[in-house]
Structure 1
Amino acid sequence: MVRAHNQATAKLAPDQALSTAQTALVQHILTFCQQHWRQPQTAVFVIHGAAGTGKSVVLSHLLAVLQQARQQPDSPFYQGDNHLLINHPEMVKTYKQIAGQRAGLRKKDVEKPTPFINRYAKLQQRADVVLVDEAHLLLTQSDRYNRFDQTNQLTEILKESHIIILVFDATQMLKFKSYWPQQLLTQVLAPYPTETTRLTQQFRVQAGPAIQHWLTAFGTAGQLLPQPQPDSTFDLRIYTDANQLYAHLRQQNQRYGLSRLVATADFPYTLDGKTYYVETENFKQPWDKNMDPNVAWAERPKTIDEVGSIYTVQGFDLNYVGVILGPSVGYDAQHDCLAIRPERYEDQEAFKQRRDVTDPAVMAEMQRQIILNSINVLITRGRQGLYLYASDPVLRRRLAQL
């Protein structure tokens, strides 16, 4: 049996080998940082890329280099004040684990955006280099729950930083309060010198082009393409029985570790300490409780007995992932595609009203996109395989026909 614990942490470890392209990008960004080091105007470097293209790995290496260089008097980054920000509690845990195990890194170098913004606003000084992972999760409106009173977290981080390195993937936005319309990122960054790159090589999903295309069409556009021929490097299976899916997934967890069951946010869940369940046709398993403050959900062996969500697995690599599509995901027979039903989506926080959006058609499209994004996040978690089940019986039959 391969132990799951610490595999996700190992993936982001600074000593993890980089590809040739990733190595070149790290060096290019370090040159960018040196050119703009403590200049009056904030400079920004944006890394775009789909899930699994190694964006977080690049950031982890950059943080390690910068934090080690701050202790070297002959380095251009000597005594640098650098931070990594991420609006994702599970990823914060992982980065802090890494920092606690590596010389030159400190756990306090990693935090969520709001504490950083509030602290530096009071200090009236700017940090040197701020790396922002999963920047598509940054808030674009005030949020009492996160104690953020301003209107856009990136705008505030720009005020408090000399250099910002951020990674952004528009297909992973999951809530109205962190919704980035197509032109918003461009508008926010317009006043600043900005350089942009895009990572395209897929490092997570070890599948051939046909399966990669099938996953992209399904997760980003809701298209139902014929199921590709079997791929020796990736195990794609569609199930008509959730219990059978779960049994096979547990077998893979025994063999390879880091295999987990996840579901769309279509089943009731409340943060009140009680146990809530994902239930569908003769299947019932508890939602994740995620009570460990230090270890990410995916890395705890006992979570094979739970069902994870987009909020517990976004940004993580699994070996095998089982995905249950809930009632918000049905079948559109007229167009032979997924039918997205926002009224069946149980994550009410995701659709919390925005004061700046009043057009019902725009609102409906935002809701549809968020649910599609959540599907995309879930189906792209597995390195070696995806097991898929639809709770909607009509969609389940159509998927089986593929």
Structure 2
Amino acid sequence: MSVPIKLNLKNYRIMSLTAFSRDILMSTDDSILPPEDTLSEAMYNNVKLDYYFNNLSKSHEQSSVDDQTNQLIVSSAPKSEESPVLEWKLLRTLAGAHQGWIRAIALDEITNKWYVTGSADSTIKIWDFENNSLKAVLTGHVLGVRSLCISKRHPYLFSGGEDKSLRCWDLERSNSDAGCQIRSYHGHLGGVYTIGLHPELDVLFSGGKDCVVRVWDIRSRVEAMTLLGHTNDITSIQTDYSDPQVITSSMDGTIRLWDLRKSKTELLITNHSKSIRSMKSHPKEATFISGDSNGEIKQWLLPKGELLNEFGTSQLSPNQRDNSRIINSLAINPVTNTLFSGYDDGKLEFYNYASGSLQQSGQSPSLAGPEQSAIYASTFDMSGLRLLTCHGDKSIRIWGTSY
């Protein structure tokens, strides 16, 4: 009988990979709960919620004064110098990484040593970034996996799927006989296409086919709040510790900035003319980016949602635009400030995030014909030197740079 490994939270991510000795990990055990967290309980009381949010803001105020000043400078004025221009080249293709379209990817930002992918084949796979070897396969979803999120506060991986479920996986229990799935969350009436974790509270956000944003207490699995307003599939959820703490995009062509205390929309953005497929918050600035099925990319300033810049076909006249330029995925390089845009036809584009200038474009060849060339998900690693893209031809591609 194997004994579950007890890991220190500081190094669980590194050690958990070496502990993955089983090829398939399964579990239906919902009995194990994480330690109590008074922050998550604040979601049930607006007075407490205000207290914790205000104190969190104050605690970050002193430690982030320089960062906040830089954010304002970066966001309100154009930069005088362009970020270094990198030439991106394909380094490796992991052909047949899954048995279906690969729709989701998440990188462990703490160690930068491993990442996870989710596929239409209903599996989640954990990969070693150093040698691109497969470390584990997580099963439990009965339909395709559409979204993934790795917690920075706990050794947890969260996943959302076409089967309408959200699942939580404890990576410290990878070698347990019961497996590492410790709980599931049920309430959605359609597929779960996007999930997000609050950076300070034990709160999980999810959205998808049923057009509703659901707010979950991770510990109790209770649906603490429901955010209504979107009229079509919800495609992306971005979170922050400061207001607005939740931003969502939808196939209805709108972006909503939410007031969690009032459980309602604080600001509705309607500048996009087509459905919004992807949205991404900047890792260092108070800005975010959104891309739609018309190839338009728009940059926004927080917290008020002012339009800062427009990239892609937004820079072209209406008669020059190619309406087939569907943007499926956006990623922001945390080091070089490069914006990546991945398209439904397999095209890749790299922009300077500050100026909006196009730095490089290319085509990712499909391994299974042009109808399977779509880029569905992407992420830069924390060094800024590698880009991971997930494709409709069941492959993962790793791109590298050179000056």
Q: TM-score range by the shorter chain?
A: under 0.3
Q: What TM-score do you get using the length of structure 2 for normalisation?
A: 0.27
- With structure 1 as the length reference, what TM-score do the two structures score? 0.27
| Larger relative contact order (CA 8 Å, sep ≥ 6) | 1
Larger strand fraction of residues: 2
More helix by share: 1
